[in-house]
Amino acid sequence: MQENNFRVNPHSLKTAISRVETDKIVTRGYNQRDLIDKIRYSDMVFLLLRGRLPSLQEGKIFNHVLVSFCDHGATPPSTQTARLVASSGSPLNSAVAGALLSFGHKHAGAIEKTMELFQSKIGSTYSTGDSSIDNKQIASSAIEIYSDYILKGKKIPGFGHRYHNIDPRADELMNIVIKQGFVGPHIKLALALEDLVYEKKKIRLNVDGANAAILSDLGFTPDLGLGVFIIGRIPGIIAHIHEENMDEEEFRRFCDLDDIIYDAGR
């Protein structure tokens, strides 16, 4: 049938991820037998997302990133949704799906927005190769962001945390990248910006802001930020669902009947 003004999408699919043959699976050019035998799981994640294996240093840094996303207790909306769905008797995969649906722009959008902000500034910087000149440009970018946001009363993505003055994950990550000499232009920008923001607002980088800078220096584009966060966080969410399922309690609820105010005038 001729379709009107729409390109017909045939059944065929082109993919660069895996080639499946009888008795053989090749992923990103590597035989899965070799990957299963030799590769760290965090390097496998990097390979899948980026199409190449990380260098030794990249692999170490990416491992820190994944661990840092693992869990923030039962406080995030996604974890609460997971436990709420599980408490209704739905299977584990449905409860994980529920958690994912709570990664809305208010909850999980920060990492992508921060990566876009940092990459737009660094991407428009002309790198001279002379570090004193480049550092000066980065310092200027930090001041620009500070002016665009803080001086105009806007929240900067990647800064501040509901429960922490110093987000221990962000702080530890920054210590690690400095100690390991992995400080690219995006991390420099994040640190310069933190100095300005802290002085004025007493607010520091949070885990999203720190990882946005690190992932940017690792070469990740913003559209993979949420994906990396999901990969890091899913194991924690599954631990919460499993704990919930061990529990005998009836439904969870964020409010009971007595907490609900009927206000017809709304």
* 43-82 binders of a second copy (CB under 8 A): 44-45, 48-49, 63-64, 66-68, 70-75, 77-78, 80-81
Size of the site for a second copy (CB under 8 A): 131
Question: Smaller CB distance to a second copy: residue 27 or 125?
Answer: 27
* Secondary structure of residue 125 in the 3-state scheme: coil
Cα–Cα distance between 230 and 223 in angstroms, integer? 12
Q: Does 19 bind a second copy (CB under 8 A)?
A: yes
Of residues 186-215, which lie at the interface with a second copy (CB under 8 A)? 203
Give the strand pairing for 24-27 and 18-21: antiparallel
Query: Whole-number minimum distance, CB 126 to a second copy, in Å?
Result: 28
Among 56, 105, 132, 199, binds a second copy (CB under 8 A): 105
Query: Whole-number minimum distance, CB 71 to a second copy, in Å?
Result: 5
Cα–Cα distance between 237 and 201 in angstroms, integer? 33
Question: Smaller CB distance to a second copy: residue 31 or 128?
Answer: 31
Question: Smaller CB distance to a second copy: residue 17 or 133?
Answer: 17
Q: Does 263 bind a second copy (CB under 8 A)?
A: yes
Q: What is the dihedral of CA 37, 43, 48, 49, to 10 degrees?
A: 180
In this structure, is the dihedral angle defined by the CA atoms of residues 57, 61, 62 and 66, taken in order, positive or negative?
positive
DSSP code at position 160: -
Q: Does 119 bind a second copy (CB under 8 A)?
A: no
DSSP code at position 152: G
Whose tokens are 């009363």? That residue is 153
Structure tokens at 96: 């994980």
Mark residues 124-163: x for contact with a second copy by CB under 8 A, - for none: ------------------------------------xxxx
Question: Stretches 83-91, 115-123, 126-134, 137-145: which one binds a second copy (CB under 8 A)?
Answer: 83-91
Among 39, 53, 139, 143, binds a second copy (CB under 8 A): 39
Question: Smaller CB distance to a second copy: residue 56 or 260?
Answer: 260
Cα–Cα distance between 161 and 174 in angstroms, integer? 16
Residue count of the chain:
266
Of residues 224-253, which lie at the interface with a second copy (CB under 8 A)? 224, 226-227, 230-232, 234-236, 238-243, 245, 249-253
Question: For residues 16-47, b (16+ Cβ closer than 10 Å) or e, as one string?
Answer: eeeeeeeeeebbbebeeeebeeebeebbbbbb
